[in-house]
Amino acid sequence: MARKFPSIHILLFLVMLPAAFSFSRPQWILQRVPVVLPQQSESRPAPRFLSQARLNVSSACDPECHKTAPLPSYWDLEQFLAYETLHSDGRLTETAVGLYGQRSHTRRKRQIFGHDGRYSIAGHNFVLKYPFSVAVKLSTGCSGTLVGDRHVLTAAHCVHDGKNYVKGAQKLRVGFLKARQRDLRSPISNLSNHVESGPNVGPIVSEKMKFQWIRAKRTHVPKGWIKGNANDIGMDYDYALLELKKAHKRRHMKLGVSPPSQRLPGRRVHFSGFDNDRPGQLVYRFCQAGEETSDLLYQHCDAQPGASGSGVYARMWDGRRRRWERKVIGVFSGHQWVERQGASQEFNVAVRITPLKYAQICYWIKGNFVDCREG
């Protein structure tokens, strides 16, 4: 019997379903996070911007390799979480950090996989509606997620190849999907009415939408990525934060510390990005999380190059605010090939936002650690 998949409109209705229709309440558990505090910054030689951005990442280290890797020491963590900042005028600085309140570090024990489970989001009244509106496109070809009024979370390999900054990183731009003025229609406030009106509602993204671009002012990349040279431990640090030159005026998604996958509703993760086999279209997908290490989450979400850098998120109940909330819990690193005994294996991998990474990224966004103590 042929396997049936839900239509895009029914799927979107379920994705955006109000809390009143939810029958269980997996909760965000607030925890005190350590402090990652910048110590001093030094100027570094200007980058050369030689290579093109890589949309796929390869590694010789598979999940078992990561699970059995030696635990990083306190000194190692300070080295990995030190970071470089690329400024829009071409200057490069390196900042050392200090760690405070850090507990001992512990580890928990194919691009398209079968049927293509991706959904192109069509119609400006979907694309411009949260949570899909937080997805943005980078001029280097990757995706990103709005995590602040002027901040975008993405993958480090989208701006740095592990050795140097890629072409286009100095004049990096972030693209926001926007309806062309002549195609704007009256907003539809009732999502169920939109679902019932059929598949021809709204324009197709690739035909009726355009990108509005904003330049990046600063780009932060952790030294763990640069020192790791995009393999082994470096994969754990495949994330970067962009600060835009002006506010984007859209709702952003909050950061959250990545919970164990068994605590996720249905063990499910979601993300939206700009896969390059569907030019101009925003592509949404969800799937069950698979294996995990303390820093990486392996899954078989269908994706193509271009989706890397997307924010991986989950939706759970916020008991303190008494509402359902989506939070970014990882960064989709992309499709990664692993060579084992002469044979290739494939994984789709996301970098988990650990308490330390949360503290670092939050500090980059807010500029102080006081607002970053609970994740």
Q: Is 74 helix (H, G, I), strand (E, B) or coil?
A: helix
Which residues have CB under 8 Å from 48's CB, separation 6+? 164, 165
Residue pointed to by tokens 């989450």: 297
Distance in angstroms (rounded) separating the CA atoms of residues 223 and 216: 20
Better-scored residue on pLDDT, 23 or 234: 234
At 94 the pLDDT is: 95
CATH number of 35-179+208-366: 2.40.10.120
**What is the separation, in whole angstroms, between the first and last Cα of the chain?**
45
Distance in angstroms (rounded) separating the CA atoms of residues 274 and 65: 30
Identify the DSSP state of 351: E
Distance in angstroms (rounded) separating the CA atoms of residues 153 and 119: 22
* CA 46 from centre of chain: 27
The pLDDT-based confidence of 26 (bands split at 50, 70, 90) is: confident
* Helix or strand holding residue 345 (H, E): strand 343-352
Q: Which of 66, 124, 151, 157 is catalytic?
A: 157
The pLDDT-based confidence of 43 (bands split at 50, 70, 90) is: very high
Identify the DSSP state of 40: E
Say whether pLDDT at 375 is over 50.
Answer: yes
The model's pTM = 0.81
Domain ranges of the chain: 35-179+208-366
Mean pLDDT of the chain: 79
- Which tens digit of pLDDT belongs to each residue from 243-261? 999 999 899 999 999 999 8
Q: Which of 62, 149, 232, 277 is catalytic?
A: 232
308 in catalytic set: yes
**Residue 209 near residue 124, CB atoms below 8 Å:** yes
φ, ψ of residue 99 to 5 degrees: the values are -110, 135
192 in catalytic set: no
157 in catalytic set: yes
φ, ψ of residue 70 to 5 degrees: the values are -60, 145
Q: Which of 133, 308, 310, 333 is catalytic?
A: 308
At 8 the pLDDT is: 53
Hey, what are 31's tokens? 């925890």
Q: Is 182 helix (H, G, I), strand (E, B) or coil?
A: helix
The pLDDT-based confidence of 230 (bands split at 50, 70, 90) is: very low
Residue pointed to by tokens 């569907």: 278
